[in-house]
Amino acid sequence: MPQVCIARNPKDVAVSLYKHTTTIPAHDYHGDWDSFLQLFLNGQVCEGSWFGGTLGWWHASQTSAHKHQIFWIYFEDLKKNPAPIITALAEFLGVRCDAQVLSKVMHASAFETMANSTAALANTSAEAKSRFANGGHSGRWRKHFNEGQNAAMDELYAAKINDSTAPGLRFDFE
């Protein structure tokens, strides 16, 4: 069965997850950003370790047994230039994707379209309200990370994601 993995850089994931965790009452988190980031770096958030999960999917996508079953997408690339990724994904899934289909998919999956269609649920669902809290932009981590936090994340990232642990795996932090 085909699998699609959309991976996002850990700095933006941490910020996004913090927003979700502080907005959705079921998470019952009332700590500050600094405390949350420590939990994130230690893999002690409800989703577990970003590094463990991402490396697991990356390794699976690179093995011969699964290479043709997992389509890897970098969130940042999808935001910058969605058309070729959507086209490649359609091909991977064996779905016809002419110009008309591509246009419809690009419109329906645009951040603004999804945010507007979810807005009606915002009054009844904290999860729906938080889903689009960061605006779908990359690089928002710069507004949250201080110099020490950035250095801590960079150090952990370099230790966990490198040529010996994950050849070819690279994230865009811009």
- pTM of the predicted protein model: 0.87
pLDDT, residue 112, reads 80
**56-80 mean pLDDT:** 91
pLDDT in tens, 141-171: 999 999 999 999 999 999 999 999 999 999 9
**90-97 mean pLDDT:** 96
CATH number of this structure's domain 3-160, picked from the four choices 3.40.50.10490, 3.30.70.330, 3.10.20.600, 3.40.50.300: 3.40.50.300
**Which of these ranges, 10-14, 93-97, 111-115, has the smallest mean pLDDT?**
111-115
pLDDT in tens, 97-121: 999 999 999 999 888 877 777 666 6
Residue 122 predicted with pLDDT over 80: no
Q: What's the mean pLDDT when you consider all of the chain?
A: 89
Residue 130 predicted with pLDDT over 60: no
SS3 labels along the chain? CCEEEEECCHHHHHHHHHHHHHHCHHHCCCCCHHHHHHHHHCCCCCCCCHHHHHHHHHHHHHCCCCCCCEEEEEHHHHHHCHHHHHHHHHHHHCCCCCHHHHHHHHHHCCHHHHHHHHHCCCCCCHHHHHHCCCCCCCCHHHHCCCHHHHHHHHHHHHHHCCCCCCCCCCCCCC
**52-80 mean pLDDT:** 92
Q: Where are the domains of the chain?
A: 3-160
pLDDT, residue 143, reads 94
pLDDT, residue 147, reads 97
pLDDT, residue 24, reads 79
Residue 53 predicted with pLDDT over 70: yes
